[in-house]
Chains A and B, each alone.
Chain A
Amino acid sequence: MMVNQIPFKEFHLLLNQGLRVAIGPFNVCIQTTYKPLAEQLYQLYRHYRTAQNEIAEFHVRIVTERSNKNPFEKNVRFLLDGQSPFESFPQAQALAALEWGINLAIAVRVSHLLLLHSAVVEKNNHVILFPAWPGSGKTTLCTVLSYRGFRLFSDEFGLMDPQQGTFYPIPRLMPLKNESIAVIRNYLPEITIGKSIPNTQKGTVAHACPPEESIQQSTLTAKAKWIFFPKWIADSTTKIETISDSEAFMLLASNAFNYEVLGAKGFQAVAYLIRTCNCYKLVYSDFEDVMATLQRLIDET
């Protein structure tokens, strides 16, 4: 059953007890009694499948607590399996705390897959990776691509099965930051974006919904064919530069969350990716321009 098939009252009740939703290859059990968060999740998670009777890999909670600094204020705290990896957040940042927390859970708990810090989309049954560090604009680019003919796998994680060489989709809310929020609201006025959350650790954040089709197709895996190391530079024309295999290897391996944990498996998985993919550095600023360039490369190969 999809979240949008449940009346809000029932959804809220499920959240109080622990709502299980299927997010890519994982089920996440989310529990909160904080109603404003329930309202946001009801809007932004509406296309996700509920998984009440299935095993959940991650159990996360958002609880309210009295602020230490101001006893008349309340904060929210993220809990993963009952443990608190972060400081508490202002209540208005509950959604951001939940989304970061789930990311952290994936990053520190998943050890059977190679976890690349990468935006991932699919085209013509092949995955395109955009491995990048924060601030490179990968979420913004990924949001645009996923609403313009590319299937969203993730704006944050490249989840690769090191045995099969395939990637798992994990389409989650895409946290747009600062200037990107207005840019995307203007460029993609039709898409659902949650309300802006100011003053977070990363500035203002607003969460874009993944396309419904991407969520529906999130069981369809694919192998990678292209790797672009992206960089957004204001007013630049789109530039694509091939890079050497050895450089691509070092960039990709250092970009993974758990490369060292996987040991030889991680090394072989990265080597496999480099051997089977075309690797480029990508500089861009204009969405139309970058999409045309990507399409041309895809058509050529």
Chain B
Amino acid sequence: MMYWHTEHFHTLLIEDWGDEYTVFQPDSGKTHFFNQISIQILIFLSQHPATIEQICTVLAKQFQQNPDKEFTQNIEKILHHFETLGLVKKRNQGNPHDG
């Protein structure tokens, strides 16, 4: 099972502009703009590692969406982008709390 989890989430500085966010990432020195759904992914993953299916289920419910193929693809795409930015990592294991 592939689990996603955040990297150094506690170090991020987050400014809330009302459903839109600017985030400073000290590790890279970069500033990112997030919309509501993208920040929710990060917040969810900061609480516990999750699989893509788990993330999609929670977000689809939260944003009243159908967790269809397109929705899942968008989430998957952003996770890979987060990974490139060093905001999340994935781990391949049975129990996410073991490692």
- Measured CB to CB, the residues of A under 8 A from B are 244-246, 249-250, 253, 259-260, 263-264, 267-268, 271, 274
Contact = CB atoms under 8 A, between A and B. Distances in A.
B86 interface: no
B99 interface: no
B15 interface: yes
A263 B20 contact: no
B31 to A, nearest CB: 6
Interface string B1-28: 0000000000001010110111010100
B28 to A, nearest CB: 10
Interchain residue pairs A-B with the least CB separation, the first 4: A267-B24, A246-B20, A245-B17, A246-B17
A246 B33 contact: yes
B29 interface: yes
A250 B29 contact: no
A249 B18 CA distance: 13
A244 B33 contact: no
17 contacts: A246-B17, A246-B20, A246-B21, A246-B22, A249-B15, A249-B17, A249-B22, A249-B33, A250-B33, A253-B22, A263-B24, A263-B26, A264-B26, A267-B22, A267-B24, A268-B13, A274-B17
Nearest to B32: A250
Given A244-B20, A246-B33, A271 B15 contact: yes
Contacts of B20: 244-246
Interface of B: 13, 15, 17-18, 20-22, 24, 26, 29-31, 33
Contacts, number: 36
Contacts of B21: 246
A260 B28 CA distance: 10
Contacts of A253: 22, 31
B51 to A, nearest CB: 30
A-side interface mostly: helix
Given A246-B20, A246-B33, 8 more contacts: A245-B17, A245-B18, A245-B20, A246-B17, A246-B22, A249-B15, A264-B13, A267-B24
Contacts of B15: 249, 267, 271
A77 B15 CA distance: 45
Given A249-B22, A267-B22, A244 B13 contact: no
Interface centre among B13, B21, B22, B33 (most CB of A within 10 A): B22
Given A246-B33, A249-B22, A253-B31, A267 B17 contact: no
A249 B15 CA distance: 10
Contacts of A264: 13, 24, 26
A177 B32 CA distance: 36
B96 to A, nearest CB: 30
B94 to A, nearest CB: 38
B13 A267 contact: yes
